Amino acid sequence: MSELLRAYLTVVVFLAAAGMLVGVSLGMGRLLRPKRPSAQKAMTYESGVDPVGSIFGQSQVRYYIFALLFVMFDVEAVFIFPWALGLEVYGVFGLVEMTIFIVILALGLLYAWRKGVLRWV
């Protein structure tokens, strides 16, 4: 196994430990607790009030814009990481290129702002 993958064994061990933590604590609870299910106990807990209506509520379209903005700036961040690693090598040239990239994306944010979709009514 290469050195790189051996480093990732830590991640595997971590995931296994996390899985065991949940499994053991829930498993112990299952073994130890008395089990007397009733309709009342199976009901969704809503701060002591009986739940009303269906679980589905159609959400507003404005959430979608925020999710899309998030995706956009997530992708922007992805490109900024490798640039930051070689910041001194790319120098002014890299800075100019990255500025162009960010300004073009900022235009989108400006458009969203001017169109008022960022306002939370």
From first CA to last CA, the distance across the chain in angstroms is 56
Distances (CA, A) of 76 to 13, 85, 98: 32, 15, 10
- Please give the distance of CA 117 from its chain centroid, rounded to a whole number: 22
Interface positions, 7-46, toward another protein (CB under 8 A): 7-8
Residues 73-102 within binding reach of another protein (CB under 8 A): 74-79, 81-83, 85-86, 89-90, 93-94, 97, 100-102
Query: Which stretch in 23-31, 36-44, 49-57 sits in contact with another protein by CB under 8 A?
Result: 49-57
* Count of other CB atoms within 10 angstroms of residue 12: 10
Choosing from 3, 46, 50, 88, the residue that interacts with another protein (CB under 8 A) is 3
* Closest CB 71 distance from another protein, rounded Å: 4
Q: SS3 helix, strand, coil % of the chain, rounded to 5?
A: 70, 0, 30
Q: Which residues bind another protein (CB under 8 A)?
A: 1-5, 7-8, 54-56, 58-59, 61-65, 67-72, 74-79, 81-83, 85-86, 89-90, 93-94, 97, 100-102, 104-105, 107-108, 111-112, 115, 117
